[in-house]
């Protein structure tokens, strides 16, 4: 995900991080981060934060986090973005093991 710091500004990052923590909850409706979330984030994460597997956008309305759900980590995620990629496995798996894994995943 790209960095949102320049788009949202410091207050926007703070409000966005708070909003992610309460998304879907009763206090989300009146939260000041709601409008910016709906404008910038719903295309990938959905209105309710359910995410979109086709876009690689994770669910953000539960307690399972790639990087962390505490306020400081959420602010870092929004301010700097995350550019996670899967590590290569060619040094750890041989061709046969990779073929077996592909066959397993393609079932
Ligand atoms: C173009 C699609 C896209 C948009 C728009 C987008 N995101 Fe993301 N978001 C992603 C992807 C993809 C990841 C996973 C990034 C990675 O692992 O490197 C992510 C990761 C995250 C995470 C980390 C979740 C975790 O489990 O740690 C949070 C929080 C988040 N986004 C919130 C937001 C917020 C708030 C906005 C709006 C300001 C937003 N995103 C806009 C695609 C998007």
pLDDT in tens, 46-92: 999 999 999 999 999 999 999 999 999 999 999 999 999 999 999 99
Predicted local distance difference test score (pLDDT) of residue 72: 98
Predicted local distance difference test score (pLDDT) of residue 46: 97
Predicted local distance difference test score (pLDDT) of residue 40: 98
Predicted local distance difference test score (pLDDT) of residue 26: 93
Q: Residue with the nearest Cα to atom 17 of ligand 1?
A: 84
Mean pLDDT of 100-104: 97
CB 2, CB 77: distance < 8 Å: no
Cβ-proximal residues to 77 (8 Å cutoff; 6+ apart), any chain? 1, 17, 67, 68
Q: Which of 14, 39, 45, 75 to mutate to test the pocket of ligand 1 (most atoms within 8 A of CB)?
A: 45
CB atoms within 10 A of CB 80: 14
**CB-defined site of ligand 1, < 6 Å:** 1, 4, 16, 20, 37, 40-41, 43-45, 55-58, 60, 65-67, 74, 77-78, 82-84
Digit-coded pLDDT (tens) for 12-47: 999 999 999 999 999 999 999 999 999 999 999 999
d(CA 13, CA 25): 19
Predicted local distance difference test score (pLDDT) of residue 97: 97
d(CA 23, CA 17): 10
Backbone angles phi, psi at 68, to 5 degrees: 135, 145
Predicted local distance difference test score (pLDDT) of residue 51: 98
């Amino acid at each position: 995900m790209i960095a949102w710091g320049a788009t949202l500004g410091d207050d926007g990052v703070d409000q966005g991080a708070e909003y992610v923590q309460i998304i879907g909850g009763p206090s989300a409706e009146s939260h000041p981060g709601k409008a910016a979330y709906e404008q910038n984030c719903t295309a990938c994460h959905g209105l309710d934060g359910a995410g979109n597997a086709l876009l690689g956008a994770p669910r953000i309305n539960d307690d399972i986090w790639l990087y962390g759900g505490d306020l400081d980590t959420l602010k870092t995620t929004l301010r700097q973005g995350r550019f996670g990629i899967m590590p290569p496995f060619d040094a750890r798996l041989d061709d046969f093991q990779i073929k077996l894994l592909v066959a397993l995943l393609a079932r």
